[in-house]
Amino acid sequence: MSTPPDMQSAARHFFASSTFAVAGASSVPSKFGYICFRWFQDHNLATVPLNPTTSSITVAQKTYSTVPTNSKLKDPKSTGLNIITPPFVTAQLLREAKAAGVRAVWLQPGSFGDEELEFAIREFPGAAVGGFAKGTRGGEGWCVLVDGETYMSGRDKKL
């Protein structure tokens, strides 16, 4: 990568999506897939859980039907994909997201290695969030739980 990506702009682009999918969404309250899915719900954002291993998840006593793959999203071109999976799963999710036409991706800390991040930045130009580039407030790098509210609300002008 010759020029570092502008993650602040990519985060704003991600939150301009009309729908969000959480890959790795879970019914287990201690898992980040649960915590991230609930974060989107708590912020009143239209969110669908993406999980190929179960037909539904339950979060905060409400059950949500899952979609198994990016190709099953209702409108991928309007969807921001938040990824909370192991790197080897993330690699496949990114390829599927690209093929399905997903609008933007946010790679949560721990969900990627160098190859996955480089692929996301290359294949989703200006629309891939992840890593430690300027703008994150968290010690683990760009995380929707730490950085999301700032960029979803446009309050990043104060940074």
Q: What is the pLDDT of residues 108-137, one digit of tens each?
A: 999 999 999 999 999 999 999 999 988 888
Q: What is the pLDDT of residues 17-29, one digit of tens each?
A: 999 999 999 999 9
Euclidean distance between the first and the last CA atom of the chain, given in angstroms as a whole number: 25
Extents of the domains making up the chain? 7-153
Per-residue pLDDT at 157: 43
Partnered with residue 80 across adjacent β-strands are 20, 104
Name every residue whose Cβ is closer than 8 Å to that of residue 155 and which is 6 or more positions away in sequence: 149
Domain range 7-153, CATH class: alpha beta
Give kind and range of the element (H or E) at residue 59: strand 56-59
Per-residue pLDDT at 135: 87
Q: Tokens at residue 6, please?
A: 């502008």
Question: Is residue 83's pLDDT more than 60?
Answer: yes
